[in-house]
């Protein structure tokens, strides 16, 4: 499906989704990098060795759940914008997603935005909790987005221009 549509299949997603037990322990990075390509900035950037050793630069990165604290450094280092942090413990009803953002305009804190899935289709709404500045993160801003818990594994972007 990925080669035909550019969108990961449910099987691909299932293969990188953390267990419910791990999700209940706090934020964790989710790497949605499904092709073998020569790339390793996430691996070299992680200060906690939460991305498994890559024996070949073409290896797909794999999260070591017990080492990941969801800091988001890998999110900003991924040139493919394929890494997200999900925090299912954010609140009783909401999860927090940290996602990369390299477009203009940049949403502001407390903006209500339309959320999108991997195919760019509408999911619902989210609230921007924080926008981390891109200077520290290799010019990629990190949007912290609160979404309903049931949407945390579906939301992967926001609709541009739906915020003020």
**Predicted TM-score (pTM) of this structure:** 0.92
Q: What are the domain boundaries of the chain?
A: 2-158
pLDDT at 73: 92
pLDDT in tens, 14-56: 999 999 999 999 999 999 999 899 999 999 999 999 999 999 9
- Is a pLDDT exceeding 60 seen at residue 4? yes
pLDDT > 60? residue 68:
yes
- Cα separation, 101 vs 89, in Å, equals 23
Residue of 140, 139, 107, 141 whose CA lies nearest to 126? 107
In angstroms, the Cα distances linking 31 to 40, 79, 106 are 12, 12, 23
List beta partners, residue 147: 95
Residue 64 has pLDDT above 60, yes or no: yes
Beta carbons within 8 Å of 128's beta carbon, 6+ residues apart = 107, 108, 109, 110, 111, 112, 113, 143, 144, 145, 163
């Amino acid at each position: 499906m990925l080669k035909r549509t550019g969108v990961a299949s449910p099987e691909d997603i299932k293969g990188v989704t953390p267990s419910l037990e791990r999700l209940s322990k706090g934020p964790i990075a989710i790497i949605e990098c499904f092709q073998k390509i020569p790339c390793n900035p996430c691996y070299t950037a992680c200060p906690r060795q939460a991305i498994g050793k890559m024996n070949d630069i073409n290896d797909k990165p794999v999260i070591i759940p017990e080492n990941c604290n969801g800091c988001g450094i890998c999110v900003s280092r991924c040139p493919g914008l394929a890494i997200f942090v999900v925090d299912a413990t954010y609140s009783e009803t909401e999860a927090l997603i940290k996602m990369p953002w390299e477009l203009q305009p940049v949403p502001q804190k407390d903006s209500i935005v339309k959320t999108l899935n991997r195919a760019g289709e509408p999911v619902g709404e989210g609230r921007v909790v924080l926008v981390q500045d891109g200077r520290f993160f290799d010019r990629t801003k990190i949007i912290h987005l609160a979404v309903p818990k049931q949407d945390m594994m579906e939301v992967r972007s926001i609709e541009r221009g739906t915020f003020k």
